[in-house]
Structure 1
């Protein structure tokens, strides 16, 4: 792995991207080895308007599934020790590059380093509600407006969880998973400005969609997740009270119960007024701002409750992922080259890296179980098998256990698939029960080994898989068209 750092910038093509690249180019200090701009537009046309710079800029098309997916597309192309994520609306300071290099001179236990965010606010008046919300970024933990991660941390965690579709909570989720792996996260000294973007009347109402992501955070980390990311309590309960009061008032009016209607209306009015005043009093109190706060304070509670309910329903429909997935190697993870002992001939099957990262994001352990009879036949040496396995791991990310059988088909060993030995040994290595594992492979031997060990199986047939094997597997395993499809089934409903 090369030294230095790579900058990854997800973008939807906002005009601020050009100012960011110009500021990055002008900053003092060592330049990044590469700047990867992940174009997250659904239709990448016309081309992004980029200013002329001395930076090595590479534009890649991300799939348009949100900033988490765009960042993942970017960091997987990086080869440097550190990957720095910048949002496309920030401005690195004049010494940003030098400050970054000083910040990254840390011990191996530090997995990430956040920059200091500065939000310019007006000096001649009190800040608006939008400006105060943006200013909150200055004290937020682990936000990707300016966040550097070791590439090894991204590899072992799988990167950003693409189940977070917005630029919200996906950065805190990654930070918690990095900490769970034993890495420390620190705040550096480099500074990055985050100007307040113009926004429409209902921007704060649209932002309530993030409540659906809060439901996912609660499912993953429990009721105290806000404390773990440095936030105070949210307003969910108050919004529920306000919305329930409004519904009670409407129900009372419909049922011709004026007492119920008046009581509900009184609670709704008091709660809404309190919410509006909390937003109006710290601000400039101009007529436009007051009108905006009144309108949005009426709309926010029911909209927030709707999105939270939608999120809770979604997470309750998620399947339980298996504790471990054990893959066959050849023709499943990489294209099969018979008796290959040359790491330079390793070619991953398309989509496999992303599928493995999805499993890592969800905390699923990963192992490989592979027959390597070429050793018994004298066509491979064990160290060649190890070298190929190391290259597979370099290309596809960390594999927690490798179990290979070097024996021939006539040696009667207990490890060679379709015997269960490899599966049992891999499950033991991962400290999970065989029944909590799923084996994914392309042959009937993979399915038979899984069944013999008490594990589930998914067959991913290739052109080399015999039709008879597929017929025999139908009653014992699921059939998937690809490894990504198989993983999507295991995490069914998670996206």
Structure 2
């Protein structure tokens, strides 16, 4: 029997009820649970959900986008496989049975199974620009309209990168990271229908925000990221030429160079006309569609260039005025999350620090990633075993809730490793495991080594002194980081921006 949970992010679209009803009536092994994540920024009332044979859990993600909503869902789920469905897809009566057939027999090296997506198009006319855009999903790789991931694969890579705040590139980014971690992604035989839908007049202009997301993809996966996801080159180069021609025409005209302005204007008109014609030709060519294509073909090139510049500024340069909100908090373990017991080997001796449980619950509710970076030289010294260390850490999670990544250095000081704090290794590895920029991490600990490791990695730091913290470490933290009275204040400082 395949053990799976279903996670459905939603913004309250009408099709959600139809999807849940179809899943309830479908044949095949039922999911362990169905988790619906309400991603409306202002959800004044709960969604009305149909009765289901499977347990339906309703969570909220606060309008932070589908990546964050899916993270909220899968971290709550408990099954071996997490089947992600979009709230506007249509599953058939045999979908659970076909999902089970796709997942049965997959070995541990397979991290995900992709469904085949069908987009029905009208038979009596050519498709509109909106419909052609949706139809492109049928040939796309790894889209989470219907994608089943092994939960361990999600945990290893840290789930979706929540910097992708729209339904764009977040699925390809996750798949690439899963593949880079050694997992395979296979294609299943189940078929899911994704209806084409009509968008607003300026939908294609708003979609140019994806150019900023493309900068993040390039930064994370290199210059060949498009070929790796099976996508050709975009039109940004032509958009840049078109925008430059239009801008030059305006500047030259303002300076009185009419002939040169006319030449540049003619170039802009020719490029814009060519772009519009390429979008009009495959469509229904109605007056409404032609007018829409003409308007948006004028607007798209400069907007695309602006969004690309916005992405370059956001993801390729450091911000100097204030700090961006953190994406992850990395905690020291002993005397930060739990009371320090030297070379702790007994899980029953684990005692949370005051406020630790509430602080971590607060972070999960806010969608902030959580990790631990901890020196445990007792293993190298033979004072505790790896098994005992794992049991203690498991007990920490029992008492404080799930930790998304554990980075533990078991080396002694004399080994001169690159991971033991104050070296930056564990902080850098934690950021990679969580799929976040290390500059968007905050390290919270009780010693100067925690602060130094954060600074060396390019993260921010907050010191929470205890009776064992040396005064010079506190003084240094006042100069180079922040100092909090307790864990609750440290988390509040991190969420507010530590500088």
Q: Shorter-chain TM-score category?
A: 0.7 to 0.9
Structure 1 435/290 Cα, relative in aligned 2: closer, same or farther at 3 Å? closer
Give the distance between the partners of 1:299 and 1:135, measured in 2 at CA: 23
Q: Which residue in 2 is equivalent to 1:210?
A: 210
Q: Which residue in 2 is equivalent to 1:411?
A: none
Structure 1 385/469 Cα, relative in aligned 2: closer, same or farther at 3 Å? farther
- On the 8 A contact 2:39/2:61 being kept in 1, the answer is yes
Give the distance between the partners of 1:434 and 1:38, measured in 2 at CA: 32
Pairwise mapping of residues 42-441 of structure 1 onto structure 2 (< 5 A)? 42-105=41-104, 106-318=106-318, 328-332=332-336, 334-336=337-339, 341-342=346-347, 349=357, 350-351=359-360, 358=369, 367-370=373-376, 384-392=388-396, 395-403=402-410, 415=412, 420=413, 424-425=416-417, 427=419, 440=443
CA-to-aligned-CA distance 1:229-288 (integer Å, 9 cap, x gap): 110110000111111111111112111111221111111111111111111111111111
Q: Number of matched residues?
A: 463
Give the distance between the partners of 2:200 and 2:460, measured in 1 at CA: 51
Q: Which residue in 2 is equivalent to 1:35?
A: 34
- On the 8 A contact 1:447/1:473 being kept in 2, the answer is no
- On the 8 A contact 2:110/2:184 being kept in 1, the answer is yes
Give the distance between the partners of 2:478 and 2:45, measured in 1 at CA: 50
Q: Report the CA distance between 1:25 and its aligned residue.
A: 1.6
Give the distance between the partners of 1:455 and 1:336, measured in 2 at CA: 28
Q: Report the CA distance between 1:313 and its aligned residue.
A: 1.1
Q: Report the CA distance between 1:197 and its aligned residue.
A: 2.0
Structure 1 351/191 Cα, relative in aligned 2: closer, same or farther at 3 Å? same
- On the 8 A contact 1:213/1:311 being kept in 2, the answer is yes
**SS of the residue aligned with 2:71?**
helix
* Structure 2: gaps of 5 or more residues: 320-328, 430-437, 484-488
Q: Which residue in 2 is equivalent to 1:443?
A: 446
Q: Which residue in 2 is equivalent to 1:460?
A: 463
Structure 1 344/179 Cα, relative in aligned 2: closer, same or farther at 3 Å? farther
Q: Report the CA distance between 1:317 and its aligned residue.
A: 2.0
Structure 1 387/436 Cα, relative in aligned 2: closer, same or farther at 3 Å? closer
Give the distance between the partners of 2:351 and 2:2, measured in 1 at CA: 24
Give the distance between the partners of 2:452 and 2:279, measured in 1 at CA: 62
Q: Report the CA distance between 1:342 and its aligned residue.
A: 2.9
Structure 1 460/85 Cα, relative in aligned 2: closer, same or farther at 3 Å? farther
Q: Report the CA distance between 1:397 and its aligned residue.
A: 3.4
- On the 8 A contact 1:447/1:457 being kept in 2, the answer is no
Structure 1 344/280 Cα, relative in aligned 2: closer, same or farther at 3 Å? farther
**SS of the residue aligned with 2:173?**
helix
**SS of the residue aligned with 2:58?**
strand
Q: Which residue in 1 is equivalent to 2:486?
A: none
Give the distance between the partners of 1:381 and 1:211, measured in 2 at CA: 50
Of 437-446 and 47-56, more deviation after overlay is shown by 437-446
Q: Which residue in 1 is equivalent to 2:435?
A: none
* Structure 1: gaps of 5 or more residues: 320-324, 361-365, 405-414
Give the distance between the partners of 2:287 and 2:101, measured in 1 at CA: 47
C-alpha RMSD over aligned residues = 4.0
Please say if 1:482 is aligned against 2:490: yes
**SS of the residue aligned with 1:94?**
coil
